[in-house]
Amino acid sequence: MKAAYAVLTIVVMSAAARGRHLMSEQPSGALAKRLAVLARDNTVVLTLASCGYLDFADNWITHVEALGISNWLTVAQDAAALQYLSERQAQSASMYPGHVLPISDFTGETLGDGSDLLEWGTSAFSVMACKRPLYLQAVLDLGYSVIWSDMDAVWLRDFHTLAPSRLDVVLVDDSESEEERRSDNTGTGLMRFNPTEKAKGLLRDWHQVCQDEESNAQPAWNKLFTPEKRDTLAFHIMTKEIYPHSVLLSQFNPSKQRSFSPAWVHANFQLGAQKKQAFLAQHSVWKVEDVQEYPTCAPVTDLFVATEYPWQAHERLAARAVLKTMGVVSASMGNDIRK
265: domain CATH number?
3.90.550.10
The DSSP symbol for 288 reads: -
Which domain covers residue 32, as residue numbers? 1-339
CB proximity list for 39: less than 8 A, separation 6 or greater = 71, 144
From 47-51, 65-69, 230-234, 298-302, the region with the lowest mean pLDDT: 298-302
From 121-130, 222-231, 263-272, the region with the lowest mean pLDDT: 121-130
Of 120-124, 174-178, 267-271, the range with the highest mean pLDDT is 267-271
**Confidence check: pLDDT of 193 > 70:** yes
Average pLDDT over residues 189-194: 96
Instruction: Please give the mean pLDDT across all residues of the chain.
Output: 76
pLDDT band at 63 (very low <50, low <70, confident <90, very high): very high
Q: How far is CA 49 from the centre of its chain?
A: 10
Tell me how far apart the alpha carbons of residues 83 and 50 are, in angstroms, rounded to a whole number. Answer: 11
Give residue 47's pLDDT: 95
Per DSSP, the residues of 25-84 read: ----HHHHHHHHHH-BTTEEEEEEE-GGGHHHHHHHHHHHHHTT---EEEEE-BHHHHHH
CA angle 201, 137, 164 (to 5 degrees): 80
Classify 327 in phi/psi space as left (phi over 0), alpha (psi -120 to 50) or beta.
Answer: left
What share of the chain in percent tops pLDDT 70? 68
Q: Is 107 helix (H, G, I), strand (E, B) or coil?
A: helix
Give residue 145's pLDDT: 98
pTM value is 0.78
pLDDT in tens, 303-317: 333 434 443 444 444
Comparing 186 with 325, which gets the higher pLDDT? 186
Instruction: Give the count of domains, the chain.
Output: 1
Q: Which amino acid is at 166?
A: R
Give residue 285's pLDDT: 92
Tell me how far apart the alpha carbons of residues 163 and 158 are, in angstroms, rounded to a whole number. Answer: 9
Strand partners, 48: 75
Comparing 256 with 106, which gets the higher pLDDT? 106
CB proximity list for 323: less than 8 A, separation 6 or greater = 248, 251, 252, 329
**Confidence check: pLDDT of 44 > 50:** yes
Average pLDDT over residues 227-233: 94
Give residue 231's pLDDT: 94
Give residue 177's pLDDT: 67
CA angle 211, 308, 251 (to 5 degrees): 115
Q: Which amino acid is at 200?
A: K
CB 114 within 8 A of CB 6: yes
pLDDT in tens, 245-300: 877 777 665 555 555 688 999 988 777 788 899 989 988 999 998 767 888 775 44
Q: Is 276 helix (H, G, I), strand (E, B) or coil?
A: helix
Longest CA–CA separation in the chain, Å: 57
According to DSSP, the β-strands at 264-266 and 153-155 are antiparallel
Average pLDDT over residues 44-70: 93
